[in-house]
Amino acid sequence: MKSLKPKILRFESLPSTNTELARQASEGAGEGLSIVADEQTAGRGRLQRAWSSPRGAGLYFSILLQPTIPPNQWPLVTFMGALAVADALREACAVETDIKWPNDLLSGERKICGILAEAVETPTGRAVVVGIGINLTAEAYPADIAGLATSVAEASGRAPERETLLAALVRALSRWYSLLHEADGAERIVAAWTSRSSYASGKPVQVANGDEVWQGITRGVESDGALRLETATEGIKLVRAGDVSIRATQ
C-alpha cells in the first residue's frame, strides 16, 4: 500500500504555491511536500488563466505527488484531488459539491474550487504538483464573476476555518491517494468520481478547447478520465482537454 506523509510548509505570500513547489521538487523535495500561502501574487489557473488569490480569502495549497501507476492513469490524479476536496468540504464545512469535468468543484452550480495539476521533472523522475484553490470568502474572486463563483462562507453560511479545512483536505488526499494505488484503484476512483458528478452522464454541454467548440451530451468517462461526449455529427468524441459548460438549449 502506498501511503502519503504530507509535510506542510507555510508562507505569508508567494507568487504561486504551484510554482514554488515545482521549484523545490526540481531540487529534490520529496513526495508529500505541501505548500500553503496566505496570498498568491501570481496565482495560476487551468488553460493559462490567472487565479485571483487575495490574502486570507482562499485556501491556496499545493502538494507534490509521485504516483507509481501506469502513465495513462496519471490524469486520474486530478480526479482523486477533486474527490478529496469534495470529502474535505463535506467533513469540515458541511458543504456538498458537484464535480464538473475534469476537476472543478461546484456548489449550487457555481465554482467553489479549482485544481491545477502540473507535471514536473525531479531528480527521482517525473512527479506532479497538484494545486488546489478553494474560495473561502467572496473576496477570493473578482466581483464580475460572482454569478459563476461562490465560497465556503456563502455555501455554508458560516465563517470558514481554514486550518480545519486544510487538515481534512490532507487526510482526504492521503486516503484517495492510497486507494489510487490499489489493484482496482483506478476503476474505483473513476466510479467514485462518476457518482459525485452530475456532469458525468446525460448532461447537454459545450466543450471549448482553443478555437474548437463541440456540443453534445456527456456519456461517462473512460478509464483514463477522458470525457465521452456524444455529438450529433461525429458520434462519441473523447475529450482530454477543454472547458465544459452547460448548454442552455438542446
Shorter beta-carbon distance to ligand BTN: residue 34 or 185: 34
Query: Least Å distance between CB 129 and ligand BTN?
Result: 8
Cα radius of gyration (the chain): 17
Question: Which C-beta is closer to ligand BTN: that of 17 or that of 97?
Answer: 17
Sheet holding 235-239, edge to edge: 235-239, 227-231, 212-221, 201-209, 243-246
Among 44, 162, 196, 203, binds ligand BTN (CB under 6 A): 44
Asked if 114 is part of the footprint of ligand BTN (rule: CB under 6 A), the reply reads: yes
Closer of 38 and 154 to ligand BTN (Cβ) = 38
How far apart CA 106 and CA 9 sit, in angstroms, is: 28
Name the DSSP letter for residue 200: S
Which residues ranging from 22 to 41 are in contact with ligand BTN (CB under 6 A)? 40
| Residue 2 CB coordination number (10 Å) | 17
CA distance 156 to 142: 20
Residue from the set 32, 81, 131, 185 that interacts with ligand BTN by CB under 6 A: 131
196 makes contact with ligand BTN (CB under 6 A): no
Per-residue cell: 226: 477522458
* CA 69 to chain CA mean position, Å: 19
Using CB under 6 A as the binding rule, whether residue 107 contacts ligand BTN is answered as no
Residue 120 beta carbon to ligand BTN: minimum distance, rounded to whole angstroms: 13
Q: Give me the least distance between CB of 118 and ligand BTN, in Å please.
A: 9
CB of 101 to ligand BTN, least distance (A): 12
CA–CA dist 162, 168 (Å, integer)? 10
As beta bridge partners, residue 58 has: 135
| Contact status: 16 vs ligand BTN (CB under 6 A) | yes
CA–CA separation, 141 vs 108, rounded Å? 16
Quote the CA–CA distance of 73 and 62 in Å, as a whole number.
20
Count of residues touching ligand BTN (by CB under 6 A): 20
Residue 31: its H or E element: none
| Cβ proximity to ligand BTN, 133 vs 185, nearer residue | 133
Among 64, 89, 106, 115, binds ligand BTN (CB under 6 A): 115
Report if residue 10 touches ligand BTN, rule: CB under 6 A.
no
Report the distance separating Cα 105 and Cα 178, nearest Å: 22
Out of 6, 30, 39, 45, the residue judged to bind ligand BTN by CB under 6 A: 45
The footprint of ligand BTN (CB under 6 A) covers 16-18, 40, 43-46, 49, 51, 60-62, 104, 114-116, 131-133
